[in-house]
Structures are given as C-alpha cells and as structure tokens.
Structure 1
Amino acid sequence: MQQPEPQSFDRVLSSMCTEPHPAAREAAERFLATNPGDPATYEAVASLEERAIELLATLAEHPTPTDAAGYVTSGGTEANVQAVRSARNRHDASDVNVVVPESGHFSFHKAAELLDVELRTVPVDDDFRTRTDAVSAAVDDATALVVGVAGTTEYGRVDPIPELTRIAHETGARMHVDAAWGGFVLPFTDGEWSFDDAAVDTLTIDPHKFGQAAVPAGGLLARDAAALDALAVDTPYLETRSQATLTGTRSGAGVAGAVAAMEALWPDGYRDAVERATANAEWLASALAERGYEVVDPELPLVAAALPRSEFDALREAGWKVSRTSHGELRVVCMPHVTREALRAFVADLDRIRE
C-alpha cells in the first residue's frame, strides 16, 4: 500500500506549528530512538536536554539560565498540566482552585479534570486581556495557581503578567505564564511576560511552535527546582531514581531538534522571522479591513476577522486550512512558513468568493 504524503504547509494558515528548521529535522532523525526519560542510559540526549532548558531559559529571561529548572515536554498541554500539578502539590489547602482567564488554553480544563482541582474562569476585557479585578475577586486562600497567557491562541494578546503575579503572590498562590506560542515571538517586542518582567514561578514555552523545532517539543520552565521537586516520583528500576516528568518514555527527537533549531536561529533568525510574520499579519489585517471586514488589531502575528460563515466555508473548500475563534471570526496565524505570496493568493480567492 502506498503511504500518503505528509501535509503540505502551502495553504496552512491556522496552525501554530510550522515546518522545522533543516538542522532540527536532521537532529531529530539522529536522536529518534533515544529516550531522555532514562537519562542514565541515554546520556547524550540527557545532556542535550540540559542545553535545551538553558536555551529556553535564555529566551524567557530567567535570571540564571544555567540554573533554570525544567524539561522538554510533548507540548504546551503537558507543560500546563504539570504547572497545575506542581502548584497543587505545593499548596497547603486540601481542596485547591486554579484561576484562569477565559482566553486560557483548553489544556487547563483537562488539567482541572485530571487533577481534581476547581477551575475558576475569569472574564477578559474589551481587548481580550484578563481582567485583573476579576482575578482579585476570584482568588482566595485555596488558590494554588493564577494563570496568565502571553500570546493567546485566538487573538494573540498578552495578559498583564506583572499585576497578575502580584495578585497571585499576595494571596499565597503561584504564578504560571502560558507562553507556548508567544514565547519565541515576545523577546522581540516590548511586552511584559518573562521571568525578568515579573516573579513568575513557572512558564510554558514550545520550541515546536514559532521555535521551528520538530514535533513534539514543548517546554516547561521553573524559576527554581522546588517546582519540579513537587512533581518527582520514584523510579526504582532505573538508575536515575526519580522522575519529575509526566510521561515516562519521551522523544529524544524533540529534545535534539529543539536544541538544533534554537542554536541555529537564536537570536537573529528568530528576530527576522518575527519581523516577517508581523509585517505579513499587518498586511493581511489591512487587506481585510479595506474589504470592509471587522478586524481585531493584531498585537502579535495573528489576525482575526469577522467573515460570514458562507465565505469561511468556501475558503475551506478551496483548500485553505483556516480556523475560527470561539466567537466565529476567521483566524490566521502568520507562522514562519506563511509567505506574502500565500496571503496574496488567499485574498485573491476571497475576492473571487465575494463576487
């Protein structure tokens, strides 16, 4: 039986994954059969994971990147689940809650169900950022974690991380930033989101998104080792006697690919990619606004616009891989593989559909 070809990225406009950098692709293939979950056996990839955390911590402005705690996860979902689990395990109350904005990723709903914690969802303001007054009203002594998003999946917004961190710590909770997508974009903006901008406890940042690593390669970072210590379980049949990760066997490909991509692209390659993506998002937003569509002003390279359902469906039928926000707007993520030529073709198809 002939095997199908992989998905082409030519018309993929809604994904937060992208084509891996050639160096990441090659490194991932070389380390395909290694398991960083057994570091005493797979020493080379274990060493690479230490390098991956140092590089991620550098991006996220950790005060001492060589001392940062963390590991390469399967993606943002695992990192977010682990951040909730760590905060729950470190909190004194028996029944804990986690405060998350309604713009938060659906992984927090998974975390709440898996970990049996109460999820308190708070509203966002008119610009799709978390309302700090709502967070202040939602937290109490049983709050283990407050979550802020740095690059929301629907509108590319950055929550007021310093203020959320202050609220969290004043009530005795930890602070987690979900920068799964935004973490490789925000270093080249003036947004406040990092370990340097606030006393953030844990942070999600995914190399397999804008970082151009091979899937799967997410990232969980912690300000100090205590956050990971709270996750550790005994592993009696391995030479490494404890493990803080959620999955046991993990992908050495993800680790090696992440390091290769970051070493090839940080910082100038990422800066160039962000500048191109930002220019593309601004061009598309302007093109859609000129055609009379209501467009959410892009803060990061993500465009949301109110298209009629019939036009959206016709674009999908024409082969464009686009998605909608929870409010029904067209959602286009200008990832590194999205070119101006592709966006011009997309708009040309939209004009044809509108005739």
Structure 2
Amino acid sequence: MQQPEPQSFDRVLSSMCTEPHPAAREAGERFLATNPGDPATYDAVASLEERAVELLATLADHPTPTEASGYVTSGGTEANVQAVRSARNRHDASDVNVVVPESGHFSFHKAAGLLDVELRTVPVDGDYRTRTDAVSAAVDESTALVVGVAGSTEYGRVDPIPELTRIAHDAGARMHVDAAWGGFILPFTGHEWSFDDAAVDTLTIDPHKFGQAAVPAGGLLARDAAALDALAVDTPYLETRSQATLTGTRSGAGVAGAVAAMEALWPDGYRDAVKRASGNADWLAAALADRGYDVIEPELPLVAASFPEPEFDALREVGWKISRTASGELRVVCMPHVTRGALRAFVADLDRIRA
C-alpha cells in the first residue's frame, strides 16, 4: 500500500506548530532511535539535551543558563503537568490547589485531574489578561502554584507576570509561566515574562512551536534544581539511577532537532521570523477590520475576530484550516509558514464567499 504524503502547510492557519527548519529535520532523523530517558547509555543525546536546556534558558533570560535545570518534553502539556506536579510535591499542605486564569491552556485541567489537585480558575479582564485582584482573592495557604500565561493560545495575550509572581510568593506558592507558544516570540518584544523579569520558578517554552523544531519538542525550565528534584523517581534497572521526566523513554529526535533549530536561528533568524509574523498579523487584522469585522487587536502574531458561522464553515469547505476561540471568534495564528501570499489568498476567498 502506498503511504500517504504529509499534509501541506499552505492553508494551515490555526496551528501553533509549523514546518521545522531543515537543520532540525536532518538532526532529528540522525537521532531518531536514541533515548534521552536513558542518558548513561545514550550519552551523545544526553549531552545534546544539556545544550537544549542551556539554549532555552538563554532565550528565557535565566540568570545562569549553563546551570539551568530542565528537559525536553513531549510538548507544553507535559511541561505544564510537570510544573503542577513539582509544585504539589514541594508544598506541605494536604489539600493542594493551583490558581490558573481562565485563559490558561486546557493542559492544566488535565494536570488537576491526574494529580488530584484543586484547580481554581480566575477571570481575565476586558483585554483577556489575568485579573491580579482575582488571583489575590483566590490564593491561600494551600495554594501550591500560581500560573501566568505569556502568549495565550486564543488571543496571544501576556499576563502581568511580575505582579503574579509577587502574589504567588507572598502566599507561599510557586510561580509558573506558560510561554509554550510565546517563548520564542517574546524575547523580541518589550513584555515582562522571563526569569530575568520576575522570580518565576518554572517556565514552559516549546521549540516545536515558533522555535521551528520538529514535533515533539517541548520544554520545561526551572530556576533551580530543586524543582526537578521534586519530580525524581528511582530507576533501579538503568545506569542512571533516577529520572525526573514524565514519559521515560523519549526519542532523541526532539532533542537533536531542537538544538539544531535554535543554533541555526537564535537570535537573528527568530527576530526576523517574529517581525514577518507580526507584520502579517497586523495586515490580516486590518484587512478584516476594513471588511467590517470586529477584530481584537493583535499583541503577538495571532488574530481573533468575530466571524459569522456560515462564512467560517465556507472557508473550511474550501480547504482553509482555521479554528475558533471558546467564544466563537475566528482564530488565525501567523506562524513562520504563514506567508503574506497565503493571507491574501485567504482574504480573496473570503471576499468571494461574501459576494
């Protein structure tokens, strides 16, 4: 049986993953069969993972990138679950809760169910950022973790991370930043989100999103080793006697591809990609506004706009891969593979549908 070809990215406007950089493809293939979950056996990929963590820590302004703790996860979901697990394990209350904005990724709902912790969801303000007064009201002595989002998946918004960190630490909780998508964009903006901007404890940042690594390649970073020590379990039959990761066996492809992409693109390649993507988002937002749609002003390269269901469905029928926010708005993510030409074609199809 002939194997099908992978789907083209030409009309994919909803994904937070993108085409991997050629260097990431090549490196991923070379390390496909290696297992960073057994670092004493697969020492070459284990060294690459140390390099991946150092590069991610550099992007996230860790005070000492060469000493940062972390690992390459399967994606943002695993990193977020692990951040919750680490905070729970380090907290001394019997009934632990985690405070998350309603803009938080659905992975935190998975984490709460898996780890048997209470999830306290707090509202966002009129611009889709976490309300700090609601967080202050929600935390108590049982709060193990406060979560802030740096590049929300629906509106591309960045929470007030320094203020949330102060609230968390004053309550005796840890602070986690979910920058899974935004982490490779934010270094080229003026937002406060990183280890240098606030005393955050853990941070999610995914190379397989805007970092242009091959899937799967997420990232979990920690300010200090204690966060990962809280995750460690004994591995008696391996040469490495403990393991802090969630999945255990992992393909070295994600690790090697992440390093290759970051070494090829940091910083200038990413800066150029962010500039292009931001320009595309501004262009699309203006084009939709000119046609009478109610557009939410882009903060990062993500466009959301109120959109009639028949037009949305018609665009899907002609092959555009678009999605909706929970409130029903059209959602377009201007990833590196999304060109101005593709957006012009998208708007042209919209005009034909509206005619």
- With the length of structure 2 as denominator, give the TM-score of the two structures: 1.00
Question: Partner of 2:344 in structure 1?
Answer: 344
What does 1:242-257 correspond to in 2, within 5 Å? 242-257=242-257
Question: Partner of 1:66 in structure 2?
Answer: 66
CA displacement, residues 6-40 of structure 1 (integer Å, 9 cap, x when unaligned) = 01000000000000000000000000000000000
- 1:215 CA drift (Å): 0.3
- Counterpart CA distance in 1 for 2:131 and 2:97 is 18
- Counterpart CA distance in 2 for 1:351 and 1:251 is 45
Question: Partner of 1:167 in structure 2?
Answer: 167
Give the counterpart letter for 1:219 in structure 2. G
Question: Partner of 2:315 in structure 1?
Answer: 315
Q: 3-state SS of the aligned residue for 1:39?
A: coil
The sequence identity of aligned pairs, in percent, is: 90
Unaligned runs of 5+ in 2: none
Please give the root-mean-square deviation of Cα atoms over the aligned residues, in Å: 0.3
Question: Partner of 2:230 in structure 1?
Answer: 230
- Counterpart CA distance in 2 for 1:85 and 1:95 is 13
- Counterpart CA distance in 1 for 2:78 and 2:231 is 13
Structure 2 residue 346 is matched with structure 1 residue 333: no
Question: Partner of 2:137 in structure 1?
Answer: 137
Question: Partner of 1:150 in structure 2?
Answer: 150
Question: Partner of 2:205 in structure 1?
Answer: 205
- 1:346 CA drift (Å): 0.1
Q: 3-state SS of the aligned residue for 1:231?
A: coil
CA displacement, residues 114-161 of structure 1 (integer Å, 9 cap, x when unaligned) = 000000000000000000000000000000000000000000000000
- Counterpart CA distance in 2 for 1:18 and 1:42 is 28
What does 1:91-106 correspond to in 2, within 5 Å? 91-106=91-106
- Counterpart CA distance in 1 for 2:23 and 2:128 is 37
- 1:2 CA drift (Å): 1.3
Give the counterpart letter for 2:86 in structure 1. S
Q: 3-state SS of the aligned residue for 1:352?
A: helix
What does 1:1-355 correspond to in 2, within 5 Å? 1-355=1-355
CA displacement, residues 71-105 of structure 1 (integer Å, 9 cap, x when unaligned) = 00000000000000000000010110000000000
Q: 3-state SS of the aligned residue for 1:14?
A: coil
Q: 3-state SS of the aligned residue for 2:154?
A: coil
Q: 3-state SS of the aligned residue for 1:100?
A: strand
- Counterpart CA distance in 1 for 2:300 and 2:248 is 35
Give the counterpart letter for 1:280 in structure 2. N
Q: 3-state SS of the aligned residue for 2:240?
A: coil
Q: 3-state SS of the aligned residue for 2:163?
A: helix
CA displacement, residues 239-266 of structure 1 (integer Å, 9 cap, x when unaligned) = 0000000011011000000000000000
Unaligned runs of 5+ in 1: none
Count the aligned residue pairs.
355
- Counterpart CA distance in 2 for 1:19 and 1:286 is 26
* TM superposition outliers: structure 1 runs of 4+ over 2 Å: none
- Counterpart CA distance in 2 for 1:321 and 1:111 is 28
Give the counterpart letter for 1:260 in structure 2. A
Q: 3-state SS of the aligned residue for 1:113?
A: helix
- Counterpart CA distance in 1 for 2:245 and 2:188 is 30
- Counterpart CA distance in 1 for 2:186 and 2:200 is 16
Q: 3-state SS of the aligned residue for 1:26?
A: helix
Give the counterpart letter for 1:261 in structure 2. A
Q: 3-state SS of the aligned residue for 2:99?
A: strand
CA displacement, residues 312-344 of structure 1 (integer Å, 9 cap, x when unaligned) = 000000100000000000000000000000000
- With the length of structure 1 as denominator, give the TM-score of the two structures: 1.00
Q: 3-state SS of the aligned residue for 2:191?
A: coil
Q: 3-state SS of the aligned residue for 2:114?
A: helix
- Counterpart CA distance in 2 for 1:255 and 1:315 is 37
